[in-house]
Amino acid sequence: MYPDYMAESLQKVVQTRAARLELARKPDPVYPPMDAAERRAVLEGFHPDFETSARRNVRVGPNKGDSLTTEVSELLESHSWLNSAQVDLSKPDFETDLLIIGGGGAGCNAALIAMKEHGIRSIIATKLRMGDANSMMSQGGMQGAVSRTDSPTRHYLDAIGGGHFENKPELVRALTEDGPGVVKWLEDLGVVWDKETDGSMKVMHGGGTSRKRMLSCRDYTGAMIMRTLMDEVRNHPSMIEIKEFMPAVELIMDDQGQCAGAILYDMESEEFFTVKAKSTLIATGGYGRLHIRGFDTTNHYGATGDGLVMAYRAGAKLMYMDSVQYHPTGVSFPEQIAGFLVTEAIRGAGGQPLNKDGNLFVYPREPRDIEAAAIIRECAQNGGGVPTPSGRVGVWLDSPLIDMLHGEGYTDKHFPAMYRQFIRYGIDIAKLPMLIYPSLHYQNGGIEINERCETDIPGLYVAGEATGGLHGRNRLMGNSVLDYNVFGQRAGRYAGAYATQVKLGKLSLAHLDKYEQELADSGVKTELVTPILLPSYAPKDVKKRQLMRGGNSLPGASVLQNRLFDEGPGA
């Protein structure tokens, strides 16, 4: 339940509701959408990316001199867990055609396509369990231009507009043109899409979409897709080997500059294993757990940007690493679930963002960055937010309107995940609004790829949230789900083809020595060891006493530290 002091504000929401319901029943927008100048102003004034301390130049690596999100620059200016001289690459522990790092949607798609189209074997190495990934957690839907009034071209234009015209066009073209095929592939595998009574796809609007294009499985869309993909992966144990709780900690190269696999770390036994692979796919997802600018996050616990740092040390270029997506509607209260996602589909179905006086202050379906910045402005500049007991702030998202617009029981039926997320805390979202605030949701930038998921490094492929360029500087709802399917498949296709013809040379970790030297030459002094693998939520005084550098919470960190620093090279 909400604390008593919020009752007055809740009362105001009730008082303004009848008039807002009338507005929502009319075809016109319930609040004037912003024009280009207003959008620019709210972004520059209130989007966290535009704060002066949000960015700084990175001092090492392929993007040296570029202005990146400050936390990303810190992540990249860090030491490896490994001392190259101590790793024996002469007898790999495992060999495979395709090594897939990451057990989310992109990784599953890639393994399946590589097997089906090229008959090649894969290892999927994942930090936690299969499906512990943002792919599993997406709620409201996947975009796909399948309805009669839509087309991949319209989808393309929406995605480019949403991304502020900075998307890589060839990637957007691949996304939107492959979209309808992906919808069918998933349905053939067993995904049960929401349908209308005549059997056609149910389609909804998302922020920035000019046509209803959001396909859903209630608000469990990611979970439904991932369960289906994982089942299919597990149906082929002789072709696709799964290694859980075994994150990659570095890529392996060969003496001709080709990627040749990775070093895995067994989180249980604390052993390292070398995997030699003809091609390697990074599908490690995003970095929400870096809690950029102190924001809560919608992301799963393993989202620590591991793929970025491994690829960067090996020489891959990053793009748009100054751009972060804050989902407009993360939970602000109850605080036990602060930061959790409140799907954009709630606004698609008629939910309205309101200030503490119960008034609309923004069109509910602006593109995400605009909507998030407008909510931050309402709280920071206009004093329109409702404070929470722990010092957070939020605005109301008036969800009871949904049943009023679509009929009693609609919310429970169409948003079962959301309904359950709040009812556990005594909040019935069909009767009471939710208190929300922007939450760190998505890494807009990432490792640069082309439409075949190739990087600058032969044999290294990347797909899904770890990549940059597709979404420009702002992703639209539902395009990440499509992204991990489309580009997961493309990665399987092209990395698979590459694996059938490549000849690998002598394995090497010389890139780590080079990177360490560059850190020293650039005067970088840091205690941070990456990949982070898991975020640390230990209080500062505990962190100080932990036997590791940089407060990383890896179970075997003390052992790793000893290997790295106490034993001399070659020991």
* Contact footprint for ligand MEZ (CB under 6 A): 138-141, 341, 343-345, 477-478, 480-481
Minimum distance from CB of 202 to ligand MEZ (Å)? 15
φ and ψ of 441, to 5 deg: -120, -35
Q: Which residues contact 502 (CB under 8 A, 6 or more apart)?
A: 258, 278, 279, 458, 459
Strand pairing class (55-57; 67-69): antiparallel
Q: Which residues contact 307 (CB under 8 A, 6 or more apart)?
A: 101, 102, 282, 283, 284, 285, 447, 462, 466
Minimum distance from CB of 477 to ligand MEZ (Å)? 4
Nearer to ligand MEZ, 305 or 328 (CB): 328
Strand pairing class (446-448; 467-468): parallel
User: What's the gap between Cα 329 and its chain centre?
Assistant: 15
Q: Whole-angstrom Cα distance, residue 123 to residue 236?
A: 12
Per-residue tokens: 562:
């000893």
Q: Which residues contact 100 (CB under 8 A, 6 or more apart)?
A: 107, 110, 111, 122, 123, 124, 125, 280, 281, 283
CB 114 within 8 A of CB 499: yes
Nearer to ligand MEZ, 290 or 309 (CB): 290
CB 444 within 8 A of CB 478: no
Q: Among positive and negative, which fits the CA dihedral 341, 73, 540, 303? A: positive
CB 306 within 8 A of CB 125: no
Q: Whole-angstrom Cα distance, residue 306 to residue 295?
A: 19
DSSP state for residue 333 in the 8-state scheme: E
Minimum distance from CB of 431 to ligand MEZ (Å)? 22
Name the active-site residue from 17, 39, 327, 392.
Answer: 327
DSSP-assigned letters across all residues of 98-154:
EEEE--SHHHHHHHHHHHHHH---EEEE-SSSTT-SHHHH--S-EE---STT--HHH
Nearer to ligand MEZ, 261 or 302 (CB): 302
Minimum distance from CB of 288 to ligand MEZ (Å)? 11
DSSP-assigned letters across all residues of 11-67:
HHHHHHHHHHHHHHHSSS-SSPPP-HHHHHHHHHHH-GGGSGGGEEE--SSTTTT-E
Minimum distance from CB of 342 to ligand MEZ (Å)? 8
Minimum distance from CB of 538 to ligand MEZ (Å)? 29
Nearer to ligand MEZ, 82 or 214 (CB): 214
Q: Name the residue number minimizing CB distance to ligand MEZ.
A: 140
CB 452 within 8 A of CB 494: yes
Name the active-site residue from 347, 365, 392, 493.
Answer: 347
Minimum distance from CB of 449 to ligand MEZ (Å)? 19
At 432 the three-state DSSP class reads: coil
The count of other CB atoms within 10 Å of the CB of residue 263 is 24
Nearer to ligand MEZ, 48 or 478 (CB): 478
56 assigned to active site: no
Nearer to ligand MEZ, 77 or 344 (CB): 344
347 assigned to active site: yes
Nearer to ligand MEZ, 411 or 530 (CB): 411
Nearer to ligand MEZ, 123 or 137 (CB): 137
Q: Whole-angstrom Cα distance, residue 553 to residue 564?
A: 16
Minimum distance from CB of 328 to ligand MEZ (Å)? 9
Q: Which residues are catalytic?
A: 327, 347
